[in-house]
A and B are shown apart, each in its own frame.
Chain A
Amino acid sequence: GIQVEQSPPDLILQEGANSTLRCNFSDSVNNLQWFHQNPWGQLINLFYIPSGTKQNGRLSATTVATERYSLLYISSSQTTDSGVYFCAVVSSGDKLTFGTGTRLAVRP
């Protein structure tokens, strides 16, 4: 099946800093989603982005499907951005295959 790798596994930022999270996948995809898992375990939808670029406030994402990667940009980070960020893809079939996540801690 498809492999999804995320980097870095852990990231510590000072409040106000910018960061880039990466997701590499091993096959073509029909769906790519970025999620933020908050401290209560809820998966929050950030982007549905099988290709192209999207922006939502301080967050933006780019997926280059032909090169099999996606990037999530966080600008002017805030303590509320802390948590785990997951990339997940649908390749063949309909199920999401998740990466192992990037654990982000933003220090005040």
Chain B
Amino acid sequence: GAGVSQSPSNKVTEKGKDVELRCDPISGHTALYWYRQSLGQGLEFLIYFQGNSAPDKSGLPSDRFSAERTGGSVSTLTIQRTQQEDSAVYLCASSWLAGGYEQYFGPGTRLTVT
């Protein structure tokens, strides 16, 4: 079946603008995760959803970052008032359930803030 998909694949935005990143998980997966990969910080966790609830938001770096999930499926990650340090690849993953099940990753969205 189809894997995790993300859009857009690339996004260039000006400092101070808002951006929305989208993730479509594998069909039937109830858990959805956002991570980001940057040169200085490696791969780091941002937030995860079990269904439409977000039990762990501990990785969101500031209150400019928010995420939602609707219908237990698609999720959007929103970054308000983007800063240059937000430039990174944003990766989405999904798993059948949270709690240690295998996670599968999408191709990522490369965000560049100019």
A-to-B contact residues, CB < 8 Å: 30-31, 33, 35, 40-43, 45, 48, 50, 86, 88, 90, 93-98, 100-101
Q: Are B56 and A93 in contact (CB under 8 A)?
A: yes
Q: Are B43 and A41 in contact (CB under 8 A)?
A: no
Give the contacting residue for B99; candidates A30, A35, A48, A86; CB below 8 A: A30
Per the bound structure, the CA–CA distance linking A24 and B25 in Å amounts to 30
Q: Chain A's nearest CB lies how many Å from the CB of B111? A: 13
Beyond A41-B108, A43-B91, A100-B42, is A94–B102 a contact (Cβ under 8 Å)?
A: no
> Dominant SS at the B interface?
strand
Q: List 8 A-B contacts (CB under 8 A).
A: A45-B102, A45-B104, A45-B105, A94-B55, A94-B99, A95-B48, A96-B93, A98-B44
Q: Restricting to B26-78, which residues have a CB under 8 Å from any CB of A?
A: 31, 33, 35, 37, 42-45, 48, 50, 55-56, 59
Beyond A94-B56, A95-B56, is A31–B101 a contact (Cβ under 8 Å)?
A: yes
Per the bound structure, the CA–CA distance linking A98 and B44 in Å amounts to 7
Beyond A96-B33, A96-B35, is A50–B100 a contact (Cβ under 8 Å)?
A: yes
| Complex contacts, B45 vs chain A, CB 8 Å | 95-97
Per the bound structure, the CA–CA distance linking A96 and B35 in Å amounts to 9
